[in-house]
Amino acid sequence: MSKPQEVLLRTFKYRLYPSKAQERNLLHVRECCRSLYNMALAERKYGYQLAGRRVTLADTEELAKRYRATFPKADQLFSQTAQSVVKRVDSAYQNFFRRRKAGKKGGYPRFKGRHAFNSFEFKQYGNGVKLDGKRLKLFGIGRVAVRWHRPLQGKIKLVRILYQAGHWYACLVCEVALTDPLPQTGSVVGIDVGISALITTSAGEKVANPNFYRTAQKELRRRQRKLARAQRGSHNRRKAVRRVQRQQQHVARQRADFLHKLSVNLIRRHDALALEDLSVGNMVKNHHLSKSILDSAWSLFRDILTYKAESAGRQVAFNTPAYTTQDCSTPQCVYRNTALTLADRTWTCPECHVTHDRDVNAAINILKQTGWVTPVNANAAPLASPRGGAKRKRGSEAARL
């Protein structure tokens, strides 16, 4: 009997172009979902506060049925979409109790305002949603035009409709078969993330931080000032809000595109990659560095690199960040420079008299922690910054990553 092929879940996001009537239907369904979410949250909250009764997921599912049968035009809401809404309420409570049990900050579920509920889902492809030619047919909405900017892969399992910065998107979650891994290169690398240089490798290569948010701040401030001057509730204010949202979305897309290209570059050149297991949530509490850390998007880089490595058959290790900068990376040297500060970009070990670049030294120590002893491929192409709009590579290898 042949071994079943491994599959991975991948999300493909496409822009929707609804007609005016379809957009009214989309907004109506979104509003129905928001109302149902608030009703289910109120049922659980006040049921416990006033009657001491624990409201279960089954109770809120019955509430969803009554909501669709009773409220005007709520029958335009698909039954499984309503189930997914009350499931979100249940998940919010489960996460709240999990955090409290772990001794973390509570984060009690909140009611959703008009602009705070921007997605709904069809949790089973074929029920309420299906492809009809080149269009996406949605229950209660119709056949919506889609911009298929990339080929769809695998078997569709779930569809989420997202409203973002005035545009509609379809996020299709698909089961994609795990293909053959990329050919071996014989190279391993340690990677240190930073602020001045986004990444520094154990081979001494550096990629400058593009600082997309700081670059866009001047335009963003201009748009935010115009928003602050606009009269609340006016048409001009709604347009000003949309302009701020579009600017923020543009920065996020620039950052994600840069990190995707950088991750592909690293994975194609190395068989194994070692990084620090950083606690970014604690690091951003430093108000002097928080903006630069968040603009660097270390967590996003980690997530992108991890899932691309899984698809390509590469190995990724996350090691403790303690003393990686302070310890001398020279073999057999055990000196630790405890006097090192953030202002010191280079330092000389007083025992082995080797001068270290602090970031390269950290990357080498990160690699040493893994214990990988693999020869570096001397024929590997040098690491290049992906900024500059490189041409998209086609073929199975590029599609897999």
CB 33 within 8 A of CB 160: no
CB 13 within 8 A of CB 169: yes
Residue numbers annotated as active site: 192, 276, 359
- List 163's β-bridge partners, or say none: 168
Torsion of CA 289, 291, 292, 297, to 10 degrees: 120
Three-point CA angle 238, 241, 140, nearest 5°: 65
Kind and range of the H or E element at 223?
helix 212-229
DSSP strand pairing (197-201 vs 206-208): antiparallel
Which runs of consecutive H residues, i.e. helices, occur in 20-118? 20-51, 57-70, 79-101
* Tokens (6 digits) for 42: 């109120």
CB 285 within 8 A of CB 294: no
Residue type present at position 250 = H
Please state the separation of Cα 253 from the chain's center in Å. Answer: 11
- Other C-beta atoms within 10 Å of 30: how many? 20
